[in-house]
Structure 1
Amino acid sequence: MRRFVHYSSLMALLLAPCVQARETFNIHALEIDNPGQPVADLSAFAEAEGQQPGEYQVTVYVNGEQQGDVQNVNFVAGVDQKLNAQLTPALLRAWGVKIDAFPALAALAPDHALEDIGQYIPLAATEFRFSKLQLNVSIPQAAMDSTARGQVDPAQWDEGVPAALLNYNVSGSHTQYSEGEGADSNQYASLQSGLNFGPWRLRNDSTWNYDERNGSHWNSINTQLLRDIRTLKAQMTLGDSYTPSDVFDSVPLRGAQLASDDNMLPDSLRGFAPVIRGIAQSNAQVTVKQNGYTIYQTYVAPGAFTINDLYPTAGSGDLDVTIKESDGTERHFVQPFSAVPLMQREGRLKYAFAAGKYRSDGGAEPQFGQLTAIYGLPHSTTLYGGVIYADNYQAGALGLGIGLGELGSLSADATVARAMPVNSADHSGQSYRLQYSKDIQATGTNFTLATYRYSTEGYYSFQETNDRQDGDNRDALDHNKRQKLQLDVSQRLGAMGSFFISGYQQDYWGEKGYERTLSAGWNGSINGINYSIAYSYSEMPDSDTEADQQLAFSIQVPLSRFLSNAWASYSVTSAKQGNTRQQLGINGTALADNNLSYNVQQSYTNQGAGASGMLSATWKGGYGEVSGGYNYDDAMRQVNYGLKGGVVAHPHGVTFSQSLGQSLAIVKAPGANDTRIQNNTGIYTDWRGYAVVPYVTPYKKNRVALDPSTLRDDVDIDTAVQTVIPTQGAVVMADFNTRVGRRALMTLIYRGLPVPFGAEAKLSDGGSGIVGDDGQVYLSGVPDRGEIVVSWSGAERCRVHYQLPDNSADVPVLETEQECR
């Protein structure tokens, strides 16, 4: 009998349903200190990964790719109290989901909340990692749009707000000459102004020059009205502009132009601005002109210099560089400016159409039309060509570009032209061009551009035909271009540094000699000590002056052990059949943001030139950049100065800025004054909480972020990061939801007892907190008076009407007790 009982018991255990046991927290234990206190529903926190439903700011990843910065997503309680994201068709479309491929999904309103996307898209799912505030969305690849890496949906492009813009760059100098030779003053201003209204951009570039000998002169370089054409991925320009330089030489135009814009393409589908190098013998003024206009002017210290921040004006056109030394002597050289070989991806069409009047400084100005097209063919081949038609000029070009794999890329083209200048016989000829580009990774060699062009004696470019028509000089057309060779090569040498060489040679029909420019140099670093050797050569045709040759050596030693962000420098510059100059100095940056730069130099030059020196400083603040300097030698004393920045008038007021780029963002954070903008030197919000981020990339996602550590104690924000996607030339708003108020630790009492643990207290303007022990809740951005809504167990229970004491403004965290009714 006993054995039967044992067997029966065993069978009962085996056949009994499975029972699971687990540890749970008795929430009634929270009532021990306060019997009778209401109890909030805390079941959501009793499960692993369980959290309170509501809206959270999360980072979204779709198939492992981050979608912008943080986004507000609403979550509801699902199985086991885990949170499920409520996505919408609009969000899914923005993330690249083929909404129209799923009829049930396409039929919903764009803002319809979806608790389970798997019901609409098979195998789709979401996962919320609360500890990282990260939402992972998994979508089958077949349900995703086939888009290029980094592509932004054009529906997200922001045309910006109406705005008026002014970019200014003012510089000048006052020179006092020795031995009673008097004084001289010089001022220069460059102004870029504009208006934005909808997709339209009105722009003007003007310059102003003044010197005591010639007086003042104002020059409007160009005025244009622009807008993008999204469906064509192109820019339309009305007014003054320049034609593209990929097929024909770029020429100035006053009329209309429609050209495809590579900026509208993602980085993975896209494909040159010149860098000017030279050597100054003293504290010199460097002026850069293009097509007869001064486009850049600056002051440089003795020795080798580099200019790599030219304001964009034209796609091509040689740059005339003038170095004016402190003793008044001038040296000139030509910096060629053209584009690299123009390979396009298979199926990609790049085009430009222009019609209007040729702009010339004293030459002919005929009406003309130009059409160019570049098309990517299979097998790494590109076909390109174009036509120009005017009453005095007709030309056609055809070329082919070929990708040679590891050997680089090569393009070859031929242009046939007929020129009919005024008061001259007709000319017909051909021009042939070869271009080569290659970056050899294995050896670190980069052929940035290698070009050879040969033109027959009867060939004239459109620019030569018009600009050289001078009634007083019938020989002006006899010196057209014949051969041109251009080469830019750089070579990395590992720990030994890098070497570069840039050369240019041009000769002319009917003219002896060559126009030559050569720059070469070596840069390296040993244990943090930087050194460089540079050589320059320039020669002009039919000139009795010997070629100008300069050799320079410089070395920089860090002084971090004695002075942070500072370097000691030594340089020596020697001119062939000229003097030799040695220079010793200290330069560096200072202040918390490194927005103050300084430079002190002392020099000595042989052959009787004697000693000289200079002192300069530049401060870069949120409202612009101020620079000043003093230099001297035996012949003169000079003070130079500069001021540059920008002003933006927008619907929310007027904001001052550093120099403006083509597209920019306005930070709107009302009440958050003097808050630093991350990744921007010296930029802080103004007294109203506004600032200008002067450079943002058009048609791309740009991150604009506030530095939370610089917020005042009485300011709070939902998120410190905003993403903006401007169109070309747009002024877009980066709107931050700021709450200005105090930080308070409130004890909330309901019917004589503390509000229950886990209740939610929410300010009327959006700030909220979870109630802890003894009814305490921490809130930030609390106004001096207002209302707090308190909820628990899924329902509103009471409200707090409060007024903070007036004498608590200086307290970091105010402690107060409030009644909830």
Structure 2
Amino acid sequence: MNFNIKKMVWSAVVGTSCVTLNAVAKEYFNPQLLETTETSAPPIDLALYAEQSIPPGDFNLDIYINDAYVDSGTVTFKRVEEAGNTNANTSEVRPCLSIQQLKSWNIRVESYPELVADKGDCAKLTAIPELNITVKMSTQRLELFVPQVAMLNPPRGFVPEDKWDDGINAGLLNYSLSGQTTHSRDDGATTNSQFAVLQPGLNLGAWRFRNYSTFNHDENTREWQSIYNYVERDIRRLKSRLTLGEANTAAGIFDSLQFTGLQLSSDSEMLPDSLQGFAPVVRGIAKSNAQVTIYQDGYSIYKTFVPAGAFEIRDLNPTGSSGDLHVVVKEADGREQRFIVPYASLAILQREGQLKYSVVGGETRSSDGRSQNMNFMQLSAAYGLPYGITVYGGFQQAENDYTQVLAGSGLNLGQMGAVSVDVAQSLSTLTWPGEKNTFSRRRGESLQVRYSKAFPETGTDLTLAGYRISSRNYYSLADFAERQNRQGKDYGDDKRDRHRLEATISQNTEYGSVSLSWVRESYWDCSRTDSLSVGLSSSWGKVSWFLSYALNHNVPGTDDSSKTTNDNVLSLTINIPFNAFWNNERYDSVTASYSVSQSKDGPTTHNVGLNGTALANNALSWQAQEGYTSDTRSTSGNLSVAYQHSRADLSASYGYDDYSQHYNYALRGGALVHAQGITLSRSLNETVALVQAPGVKNAPVNGQVNILTDSSGNAVVPYIRPYHETSVGIDTRSLADTDMEIDNVSRMLVPTRGSVVKARFHTAIGFRAMMSLWHQQRPVPFGAMVTRSDEEKDDKNAPEQHSNIVGDEGQVYIAGLKEKGTLRVKWGQATDQQCRVNYSFVHPQREKIMLYHAECL
């Protein structure tokens, strides 16, 4: 046999691992090209390779349409006979895709009635002209190239609801345990305290149960509190969430309020990113097939192609609080038309045609648990109108004693910024202590104005400016509930807000970035509170510094006393990384810091410190700090260390001052209970993923820091964004020197909020071997397929094992082999074109790849 010819054909047929399937006539390889002597291997059936290197069967593939990922799963390939011809040489092996699958991939199936096959579940893909299919086995991809006329155009980032995954039934637990031991220098007394936070949860289908409880223990107190209990689920048709139990109302039009009852509110995460937040509709007219590009602040933020005629762009991502949009329409002949769409935003603004709402019913809930609760209901909604206008309003009713109505409007003023104005009116029935059946009705009003504007030319960003003024008789629902609970006693009725002014401004200068935040509140008892902070930050090379000034006037304390504070504080902080002076990677993670602060009536304090990280992925962090107070000439110090493990976070610290020494410790983490057992993890967020790679331990999860599989091959990804596609994979580089292989290194997940979605990877654990297979004293034919027998499958729920293709001289590479087993070899349909190999590795040595010679019988 001519070795070079055989190698050329092997590369052309199999080695490329890339196959294009279309409606054109197929190529035919003459098997005799591979046979040059009478003693060669028996002829093989190359029908499977005449047009592609994939035989009929099931294969686990990622599906891409026009180079965009859309799905993954098991795809069945079947032989399709051409009409009127049953010759195997004129048949094709094509993927069997259902009409429902094509619909979920946004293909216009209604426009091609011939897609529905006469019999069977496979769509007749040739019904779509110019559709091409490519199979890339090297990357396990099925690529469909579909003409744009055959595609729907959903918003960018759109994920069909049938892909949303409610996840598995599971139990969840977040925990935080902390404690402190203090030794007093005055009397030598030692005190201990512990604090625990437990957040258990349970997922059953689409339902989520959550609890938040705390336990506080010290020398005099042993207290257990349940902060809230609720169940919730999503209502997909309404793009909303239903909550039942103890929770907080959604903040927005009204302030958030603790309640026990029912809430149905919009969930913007169910929308693609391109429809979240406010952005104007960009309208224009194209004179031909044109390219539309949108710029903001000199950056290209959107590009698309539109046909001739009027067009609308509704899926523009929100890019900030403001900044005009410059639109360029480039026609087919190269001519351009340009126009500007003004853009500014506030949180209340909604896109044109978009509704955001909340419906709440139940009773108010106080934090002390001793106050009298009131039945109430609350409705609120905001709707986007054309021309950048949003109308919004709300209604609150508490039994027969309180009513509030609010109405307002927001407007995108473009170059002038964005503004919203709303008016609220309350009607309250107040009772008085000591006088039975004595009450009075109070009617009050409140006006609120908010404004936002950026000035790109000067680098100024007026993020938020708000002004609110309320009449003496205006009560918010929270104010009214608090007053009624106390029956007027010690409530301080005149301590309610009269005016509130707030502003946040940032400015970039050649010397650094300046920020200002200011809040002023005045009350009906003529008192006033001011909080002002100003900061300037900059850097010299790798050295950074921050200068800040804070003014706090009449700020109330956290307890019930009327004590207030007045203080002015000026501080300077400088951070100096060691690599600013030593170009050595050993010092990259170490930073020195110095800070000094001076208060109006207090001492000047100085602090110097070192902090850094160590170990792989900076799992260990540490900090050492020493302080000095000028007026008392006293010192203080603190030393802390924290370790981030795949199963939990641990921290400990020691500190001292002139009064005491104290030791602190903390353990924080999570646990997931599922059908296969319990998996420990770091603290869980709302939505998580369970990674399962049976038998693969200590393998890193891609894109995660210090997340490794445990001894069972399980790991928890503690945060997954709900209703959006997220890729989860295993870093296989860590498996290079092991006897483990994974069939596919990534899974695409689309979880619903609060779900536990599973990413299961099918693993092959065992020997890796390069086998030389012989049949009837000749090498097994080139191109034969080798699979492990059914009893070789470790996972009975796994898809069929992938076949391995025999190469030159009967050689084939196979992974995941046990010490003993059986292989099936097939190079045709006839019985004399199939055989079985019973292999046994005698005294095997764990080498990267074992060499093995076997007879196929």
What is the CA–CA distance in structure 2 between the aligned matches of 1:267 and 1:724, rounded to whole Å?
16
- Confirm whether residue 265 of structure 1 aligns to residue 271 of structure 2: yes
Distance 1:739 1:130, change over 3 A: closer
What SS does structure 1 have at the residue aligned with 2:587? coil
The offset of 1:455, in angstroms, is 0.4
Deviations 1:596-649 (A, max 9, x none): 111122222211242222111111111110011111122221111111110111
Aligned partner of 2:8 in structure 1 is none
What is the CA–CA distance in structure 1 between the aligned matches of 2:670 and 2:811, rounded to whole Å?
49
- Confirm whether residue 536 of structure 1 aligns to residue 562 of structure 2: no
Equivalent residue in structure 2 for 1:456, among 471, 475, 494:
471
What SS does structure 2 have at the residue aligned with 1:611? strand
Equivalent residue in structure 2 for 1:178, among 182, 185, 188:
185
The offset of 1:57, in angstroms, is 5.7
Contact 2:181 2:663 in 1 (8 A): yes
Contact 1:341 1:411 in 2 (8 A): no
The offset of 1:658, in angstroms, is 0.6
- Confirm whether residue 194 of structure 1 aligns to residue 229 of structure 2: no
Equivalent residue in structure 2 for 1:91, among 101, 104, 108:
101
Deviations 1:173-200 (A, max 9, x none): 2121213252332322222111111111
The offset of 1:373, in angstroms, is 1.2
**After the TM superposition, which residues 468-479 of structure 1 pair with which residues of structure 2 at under 5 Å, given as runs?**
468-469=483-484, 470-471=486-487, 473=489, 476-479=492-495
Deviations 1:370-389 (A, max 9, x none): 11111111111111101111
The offset of 1:660, in angstroms, is 0.4
The offset of 1:781, in angstroms, is 1.1
Aligned partner of 1:658 in structure 2 is 682
- Confirm whether residue 699 of structure 1 aligns to residue 703 of structure 2: no
Aligned partner of 1:486 in structure 2 is 502
Aligned partner of 1:299 in structure 2 is none
Contact 1:479 1:508 in 2 (8 A): yes
Aligned partner of 2:64 in structure 1 is 61
Deviations 1:744-794 (A, max 9, x none): 111111112111222221223414322222212111111223221212256
The offset of 1:226, in angstroms, is 0.4
- Confirm whether residue 117 of structure 1 aligns to residue 125 of structure 2: yes
Aligned partner of 2:453 in structure 1 is 438
What SS does structure 2 have at the residue aligned with 1:421? strand
Equivalent residue in structure 1 for 2:825, among 765, 787, 790:
790
**After the TM superposition, which residues 486-505 of structure 1 pair with which residues of structure 2 at under 5 Å, given as runs?**
486-493=502-509, 496-505=511-520
The offset of 1:702, in angstroms, is 1.1
What is the CA–CA distance in structure 2 between the aligned matches of 1:508 and 1:383, rounded to whole Å?
30
What is the CA–CA distance in structure 2 between the aligned matches of 1:399 and 1:819, rounded to whole Å?
84
Distance 1:176 1:33, change over 3 A: farther
Distance 1:499 1:799, change over 3 A: farther
What is the CA–CA distance in structure 2 between the aligned matches of 1:799 and 1:261, rounded to whole Å?
59
Aligned partner of 2:42 in structure 1 is 38
Equivalent residue in structure 2 for 1:378, among 374, 386, 389:
386
- Confirm whether residue 550 of structure 1 aligns to residue 574 of structure 2: no
RMSD of the alignment, in Å?
A: 3.0
Deviations 1:427-457 (A, max 9, x none): 2110000112334444443333222111011
Aligned partner of 1:20 in structure 2 is none
Equivalent residue in structure 2 for 1:778, among 813, 836, 848:
813
Aligned partner of 1:51 in structure 2 is 53
Equivalent residue in structure 1 for 2:776, among 733, 751, 767:
751
TM norm structure 2: 0.79
The amino acid across from 1:378 in the alignment is P
Aligned partner of 1:411 in structure 2 is 420
Contact 1:117 1:125 in 2 (8 A): no
Deviations 1:485-533 (A, max 9, x none): 1222233447x54222222221211142x22222322222332222222
Aligned partner of 2:230 in structure 1 is 224
What SS does structure 2 have at the residue aligned with 1:419? strand
- Pick which of 130-139 and 598-607 moved more: 130-139
What is the CA–CA distance in structure 2 between the aligned matches of 1:126 and 1:26, rounded to whole Å?
24
What is the CA–CA distance in structure 1 between the aligned matches of 2:539 and 2:31, rounded to whole Å?
67
What is the CA–CA distance in structure 1 between the aligned matches of 2:37 and 2:814, rounded to whole Å?
24
- Pick which of 810-819 and 545-554 moved more: 545-554
What SS does structure 2 have at the residue aligned with 1:634? coil
Aligned partner of 1:799 in structure 2 is 835
- Confirm whether residue 516 of structure 1 aligns to residue 533 of structure 2: no
Equivalent residue in structure 1 for 2:211, among 204, 211, 223:
204
- Confirm whether residue 428 of structure 1 aligns to residue 443 of structure 2: yes
Contact 1:523 1:532 in 2 (8 A): yes
- Confirm whether residue 253 of structure 1 aligns to residue 259 of structure 2: yes
Contact 2:555 2:564 in 1 (8 A): no
Contact 1:596 1:617 in 2 (8 A): yes
Aligned partner of 1:312 in structure 2 is none
What SS does structure 1 have at the residue aligned with 2:703? coil
- Pick which of 189-198 and 782-791 moved more: 782-791
The amino acid across from 1:820 in the alignment is C
- Pick which of 121-130 and 770-779 moved more: 121-130
What is the CA–CA distance in structure 2 between the aligned matches of 1:161 and 1:490, rounded to whole Å?
46
Aligned partner of 1:289 in structure 2 is none
Deviations 1:798-818 (A, max 9, x none): 333434335215222222222
- Pick which of 165-174 and 467-476 moved more: 467-476
Distance 1:788 1:442, change over 3 A: farther
The amino acid across from 1:66 in the alignment is Y
Distance 1:515 1:81, change over 3 A: farther
The offset of 1:82, in angstroms, is 9.6
What is the CA–CA distance in structure 1 between the aligned matches of 2:76 and 2:621, rounded to whole Å?
45
Distance 1:69 1:484, change over 3 A: farther
Distance 1:153 1:756, change over 3 A: same
Aligned partner of 1:527 in structure 2 is 541
Aligned partner of 1:736 in structure 2 is 761
What is the CA–CA distance in structure 2 between the aligned matches of 1:807 and 1:443, rounded to whole Å?
77
What is the CA–CA distance in structure 2 between the aligned matches of 1:52 and 1:356, rounded to whole Å?
61
Contact 2:75 2:95 in 1 (8 A): no
What SS does structure 2 have at the residue aligned with 1:540? strand
Structure 2 unaligned spans of 5+:
1-26, 83-88, 279-344, 433-438, 557-561, 794-800
Distance 1:557 1:806, change over 3 A: farther
The offset of 1:398, in angstroms, is 0.3
Contact 2:277 2:347 in 1 (8 A): no
The amino acid across from 1:723 in the alignment is M
Aligned partner of 1:813 in structure 2 is 849
Distance 1:33 1:503, change over 3 A: farther
- Pick which of 641-650 and 792-801 moved more: 792-801
Distance 1:155 1:478, change over 3 A: same
What is the CA–CA distance in structure 1 between the aligned matches of 2:490 and 2:578, rounded to whole Å?
62
The offset of 1:343, in angstroms, is 0.6
- Confirm whether residue 402 of structure 1 aligns to residue 411 of structure 2: yes
Contact 1:341 1:436 in 2 (8 A): no
What is the CA–CA distance in structure 2 between the aligned matches of 1:107 and 1:757, rounded to whole Å?
36
The amino acid across from 1:344 in the alignment is Q
The amino acid across from 1:368 in the alignment is F
Contact 1:37 1:753 in 2 (8 A): yes
Aligned partner of 1:645 in structure 2 is 669
Contact 1:767 1:781 in 2 (8 A): no
What is the CA–CA distance in structure 2 between the aligned matches of 1:372 and 1:358, rounded to whole Å?
17
TM norm structure 1: 0.82
Distance 1:69 1:88, change over 3 A: closer
What SS does structure 2 have at the residue aligned with 1:166? strand
Distance 1:570 1:166, change over 3 A: same
Contact 2:346 2:419 in 1 (8 A): no
Distance 1:72 1:271, change over 3 A: same
The sequence identity of aligned pairs, in percent, is 36
